[in-house]
Structure 1
Amino acid sequence: MKHLIIGTAGHVDHGKTALVKAMTGVDTDRLKEEKERGISIELGFTALKLPGGRKAGIVDVPGHERFIKNMLAGAGGFDLVLLVIAADEGVMPQTREHLDIIQLLQVKKGVVVLTKADLVDEEWLDLVRAEVQDFLKGTVLEKAPLVIVSAVTGQGIGSLLELLDRVAEDTPAKTAAGPPRLPVDRVFSVTGFGTVVTGTLVAGEIRVGDSVEVQPQGLITRVRSLQSHGEKVKFAGAGQRVAANLAGLEMEQISRGSVVAGVNSITPSNRLDVHLLLLKSAARPLKNRARVRFYLGSGETLGRVVLLDHEELAPGAMAYAQIELEEKTVAVKGDRFVLRSYSPMQTIGGGVVIDPAPGRKHRRFRSEVLKALETRERGTPAEILEQYLQGNPELPDIVDVAAGTGLQATEIEELAHQLARQEKVKIVPGDGKVYLSLTDVYRRMAGELQQMLESYHREFPLREGYPKEELRSRKFPALNNKVFQFLLAALEKDQLVRCTAQAVASPSFTGPGPEMNLIINKIRKELAEACFQPPAWSELAGAAGLSENASLELLQHLLRTGELKKVGENLYFLDETLRMAGHEITGFLREKGEITIGELRDLLQTSRKYALPLLEYFDKERITRRVGDKRLPGKALG
């Protein structure tokens, strides 16, 4: 079912709240001050059942110029707008400013309502109608239907509801795809329940029990309960007004402008790439680095506009820009925003978010920067994906790509497989996720990695390969260990590297060269001939003419390959010699049931110098078990 939000707009005291009451029976002014002053100060909310049966949410906004920021907090969720103009006054300053905001936010569906028809005659109504039609030329509401009503007498209210029903039928619904996003426009506490936030769910779906994240604060919480238009629900979809009771959070931790979103689905940033329009009505050009008030969703913050291709922007002109914010905000690609001048506070422009979290500041007047922004704004999904991967080479997963491009995760996965078949994108799977890289970047990365491995093998020919963690920290510091392992698995599958548990090697690496193999064979022969009375390793290395470093490298190599086993300090045996000793000891124990150091010395025709460390070695291997001065069969012998 399609859910829609109908919002009001218009000058103060033009009858917006009275109109909503005539349509719904609900007075949306809830504050004492609003009742006393007769004007709306805060946002008002109610529901409207249209003649066709559809239930829509209504957001009633204040019209006074002092409360424009409150109006903006609600306007970001509008699907359809009621532009309210009092027949006795016509177009007024906030009518113009509210229409500018509707234009900047691109709320393309609406109805123009001339209220207070009971206060004027037909001739005056005709003049006001003509004025309004001229006023709307060239705007998103140029072709919007117009209806004349009186909230006092009820004139035209029925016609307005029927007209709204028809317009609502043609109004596109918000997307239910992707993670939920709920800009918070109100926070309060309910005794016995805790913190409650309200807002318009602008994307996705939300359910009771869901884990969600409040951004930009980064607070992970759980949805304890949900309401929509005062009724308890277990589920809410995009386009609905929602009140969510959040578990474990204090009211002071959240504020208007926060966003309740899927966990890890959106990234806060102090910087946004945007396409910006300065209104024709702006009083002066917008200079580079001008300080402005920035409105997005239900939030407001201060920032500076960095113009990327202008020194100053003339009224009516457009430009690519970076907004540098004084506080973090959260956005997705395609979000609309509004700018107001710092002082005096007037709406001067707005535009669309191109990149919600650019990784760096852009250099101004650079053609490649402008071209990249143009592609990001207007390119095909495939072009946008390729461009994003070009700028993010460190294997982003599909969730990251979706957050950075504004594309849907399902669309990205389909595109990735399509581009993989064209050998433009490399897919790296792992742990149920999909990580992406441009194929050219992947191949270049593999080539650089192979050069590092070859260099390492030349320097350390006796090692099994480059230690994984050292390689990750030097070559891939931005990758966590898990993603790095997925990358290595992909490289090994493509036969570009060879991996062991702890190291990475080139597929062509064969280990020690001919000269070192001669030394290894010589040492192996000496140990075999010495059998159970081997010389100390330092003697073997010295006789082979090895330096201290080369001696250590060779020893580690032989231990790692299992050719040598350490039995005592500076004492090493060939693996085959130890197996022979183990065989002799096992046979003796089965026959005699126990063995002493002296008996082992005689059995192996060696000396106590070697017999004692051998028995201690076999104790560790559980072949033997020491009891006093004797050894009995260990657990390994059953």
Structure 2
Amino acid sequence: MSNVIIGTAGHIDHGKTTLIKALSGIETDTMTEEKERGISINLGFAYFDLPSGKRCGVVDVPGHEKFIKNMLVGAVGINLVLLLVDAREGIMPQTKEHADILSLLGVENFIIVMTKIDLADEDYRTLVREDIESFIKGTPLEGSPIVEVDSVSRKGIDELLHVIDKKTDDIAELKNSGNVRLNIDRAFQVKGFGTVITGTLTEGKISVGDELEVYPHDIKTKVRNIQVHKQDVKTAYAGQRTAINLTNIKVEDIGRGCSLATPGTLTKTYMLDTEVQMIKNSGINLELWDRVRVYTGTSEVMARFVPLGGDVLEEGSKGFAQLRLEEEIAVKNYDKFIIRTYSPMITIGGGVILDCNPKKHNRFNDEILNKLKIQSKGSGKDLIANYILLNQQYLVTADKIAKALEKSSEEVLKDLDELLEEKTVYVTKEGYIHSKKYEDVSERIAAVISDYHNKFKLKKGMSKAELISKFKMNQKEFAAMVELLSVNKVLKIEGNFVSIFDFSVKYDDKQMQEKKRIEKTLLESAFTPPTIKELTKGNKVANEVLDSLLGDTVIRLNEDIVIHVRTFDEAKNKVLKHFEGNKKLLLSEFRDMTGSTRKYALPILEYMDKAGVTKRVEDYRVKGNEV
């Protein structure tokens, strides 16, 4: 891995700062108070080169229990931890707390460094090593290499450098593509330059001139200058400790707890749905409304604890909880966090954010609990299916899924293809729908249309406009759903009418007689048909039959006039033949070619205009675009 951030951890006075000076030559205790007291209060930063030539950034975090919150800030973006244990003291309270915190934050790579070996004899060092091996057994630290060093005499330092070098080969490279994210741990003013922030770049890359946003304050800013390891650079990459000079921002408006990110990529929230892992042997359980301290990124915020699916979360157990925050923070799903008690401040657990924008919900809601179970597993297909199912919209695009779940388009499309094969989801031109939603919508639409068929047995179907008025869906979504149901042979679409797929109009003997009479009359009268009133003679059955023929064998021109579809086709052919040798068509010319009168010729031409056969220009017509 080319960019490595190493963090030190361990009990107070176990030699973290001295070790870093031995590795890098840099003194990370820079505050007067730190030098006077001989302990680290704030974060210290350094860098050094490994034998392979790789450069490592180092975060020196304070070990004293009073400064654990500073240690939590320093843990952001760490790839590898050097957990220090004094060869004279062995495992101490902060050793355990630091190890618990780092494990809960998802750090996977550790090297145990036994320090100050020149001050302990070999037999005692053997006992301490056994103490360490016992401590890490059954934890994420089990199997980590143990290196013995003395930072003053430099004994073991070269061996430690080689172990670090080898260990970094196993660390996955962070992605330099995609959105930017840097959790800010310091902000200060530099005379002549303005506001400078520091932090570990955990996602993407930042270049001079980039336009970014400071969360949660919604401040737009631009990158003026970048430094990595005290050197000016044009671009900083994920995994690097970075100092960035920003424009358009005052130092008092930014600080620890803020994040610098690509605009529109973080979610501001006062509430989190989470999975929490409680630390063993803390002696503390969490109950409904307990007040806790939550640490995520570089933020510290107070929150109320709301267990989900139970009334209490006991020490050593894992469960779901909603955290109701007292201040707004900006996060993403799957961010890690630590929980400490309000007072006294004791680390009792940590976990992962599963939904960074939830609503208040019943603590025993099975749908919510199932959703959180799926999200905690992190399976690509399951996450996508669950997101589509619970989304407020019926149809969800692949782009929206990728953005919401922070996945690449390629990953999402691959998983969607598999979900389509499994028939877990269906696809339309407006997006994807979950099979459960599809079945629900299908049943509801089919029920509405079936009811319509029962009431109007002679009508070929329900108009699209009337059907959509029955459902709270936007027109594009609804049209896409109807089209999908047509493809799946649930519905049948004929022109502007929608029916159940296997529905057909069935006439009794009397209705069939009226059908034949109406069609014969309209064919014989051609371009001078009787009015609707004359055609039906006020007969209820005739009216019902005529309605059933509309859009099929009969075309309605206006409130009073209908013509047979074959008559209209004949008129259309005459018009098209006319345009073979002419550019214009007058109403009088159309009247003469059909042998009709203005009363019929005008509505026929107006219908042709709507159909795109002709186009009206002033007092004449030209050939339409739809032919």
How high is the TM-score relative to the length of structure 2?
Answer: 0.72
Counterpart for residue 417 of structure 2: 417
Deviations 1:143-202 (A, max 9, x none): 441333335x655544433332233334x2255398546241247578998876654344
Matched residue SS, 2:175: coil
Q: 1:534 to 1:397 in 2, by over 3 A?
A: closer
Deviations 1:192-223 (A, max 9, x none): 98876654344566677888776667788887
Cα distance between partner residues in 2 of 1:263 and 1:571: 60
Instruction: Point out the more displaced range, 453-462 or 66-75.
Output: 453-462
Matched residue SS, 1:543: coil
Cα distance between partner residues in 1 of 2:24 and 2:182: 25
Q: Could you tell me which amino acid in structure 2 is paired with residue 71 of structure 1? A: M
Kept after mapping to 2: 8 A contact 1:184/1:197: no
Counterpart for residue 299 of structure 1: 299
Matched residue SS, 1:454: helix
Kept after mapping to 1: 8 A contact 2:181/2:203: yes
Matched residue SS, 1:20: helix
Q: Could you tell me which amino acid in structure 2 is paired with residue 471 of structure 1? A: I
Counterpart for residue 173 of structure 1: 172
Q: Within 5 Å, which residues of 2 pair with 1:186-265?
A: 186=185, 188=187, 198-203=198-203, 228-229=228-229, 230-234=231-235, 236-237=237-238, 239-242=239-242, 256-258=256-258
Q: 1:357 to 1:574 in 2, by over 3 A?
A: same
Which of residues 450, 457, 460 is equivalent to 1:454? 450
Instruction: Point out the more displaced range, 55-64 or 259-268.
Output: 259-268
Cα distance between partner residues in 1 of 2:385 and 2:128: 51
Kept after mapping to 1: 8 A contact 2:114/2:147: yes
C-alpha displacement of 1:71: 1.9
Instruction: Point out the more displaced range, 534-543 or 308-317.
Output: 534-543
Q: 1:252 to 1:465 in 2, by over 3 A?
A: farther
Kept after mapping to 1: 8 A contact 2:4/2:56: yes
Deviations 1:479-520 (A, max 9, x none): x66555555554444344445787755434557967888777
Counterpart for residue 565 of structure 1: 557
Kept after mapping to 1: 8 A contact 2:216/2:258: yes
Kept after mapping to 2: 8 A contact 1:180/1:206: no
Q: Within 5 Å, which residues of 2 pair with 1:303-452?
A: 303-308=303-308, 310-326=310-326, 327=328, 329-333=330-334, 335-353=335-353, 361=361, 363-364=363-364, 376-378=375-377, 394-398=394-398, 410-421=410-421, 423-428=422-427, 430=429, 435=432, 437-438=434-435, 442-443=438-439, 445-452=441-448
Which of residues 463, 488, 494 is equivalent to 2:488? 494
Kept after mapping to 1: 8 A contact 2:288/2:311: yes
Q: 1:622 to 1:185 in 2, by over 3 A?
A: closer
Q: Within 5 Å, which residues of 2 pair with 1:135-154?
A: 136-138=135-137, 139-141=139-141, 143-150=144-151, 154=154
Cα distance between partner residues in 2 of 1:20 and 1:469: 75
Matched residue SS, 2:344: coil
Kept after mapping to 1: 8 A contact 2:87/2:114: yes
Q: 1:607 to 1:224 in 2, by over 3 A?
A: same
Uncovered stretches (5+) of structure 2, i.e. residues with no partner: none
Matched residue SS, 2:3: coil
Kept after mapping to 2: 8 A contact 1:212/1:220: yes
Counterpart for residue 50 of structure 1: 50
Q: 1:122 to 1:604 in 2, by over 3 A?
A: closer
Q: Could you tell me which amino acid in structure 2 is paired with residue 148 of structure 1? A: V
Cα distance between partner residues in 2 of 1:306 and 1:636: 70
Q: Could you tell me which amino acid in structure 1 is paired with residue 434 of structure 2? A: S
Cα distance between partner residues in 1 of 2:374 and 2:13: 45
Counterpart for residue 20 of structure 1: 20
Deviations 1:432-453 (A, max 9, x none): xx73634x66456434433333
C-alpha displacement of 1:7: 0.8
Q: 1:28 to 1:291 in 2, by over 3 A?
A: same
Aligned CA-pair RMSD = 5.6
Matched, 1:276 2:271: no
Q: 1:168 to 1:611 in 2, by over 3 A?
A: closer
Matched residue SS, 1:4: strand
Cα distance between partner residues in 2 of 1:504 and 1:33: 80
Kept after mapping to 1: 8 A contact 2:208/2:224: yes
Q: 1:451 to 1:618 in 2, by over 3 A?
A: closer
C-alpha displacement of 1:5: 1.5
Q: Could you tell me which amino acid in structure 2 is paired with residue 182 of structure 1? A: R
Q: 1:528 to 1:159 in 2, by over 3 A?
A: closer
Cα distance between partner residues in 2 of 1:564 and 1:404: 49
How high is the TM-score relative to the length of structure 1?
Answer: 0.71
C-alpha displacement of 1:347: 1.0
C-alpha displacement of 1:9: 1.9
Instruction: Point out the more displaced range, 154-163 or 212-221.
Output: 212-221
Counterpart for residue 185 of structure 1: 184
Cα distance between partner residues in 2 of 1:373 and 1:448: 29
Counterpart for residue 467 of structure 1: 464
Counterpart for residue 60 of structure 2: 60
C-alpha displacement of 1:295: 1.9
C-alpha displacement of 1:457: 4.6
Kept after mapping to 1: 8 A contact 2:212/2:260: yes
Kept after mapping to 2: 8 A contact 1:425/1:437: yes
C-alpha displacement of 1:617: 10
Q: 1:166 to 1:249 in 2, by over 3 A?
A: same
Q: 1:231 to 1:488 in 2, by over 3 A?
A: farther
Deviations 1:51-108 (A, max 9, x none): 2211222222233444322321231322211234566776655444323312322433
Deviations 1:6-42 (A, max 9, x none): 0122345555344334422334456677678765444
Q: Could you tell me which amino acid in structure 2 is paired with residue 543 of structure 1? A: G
Count of residue pairs brought into register by the alignment: 609
Matched residue SS, 2:448: helix
Kept after mapping to 2: 8 A contact 1:85/1:95: yes
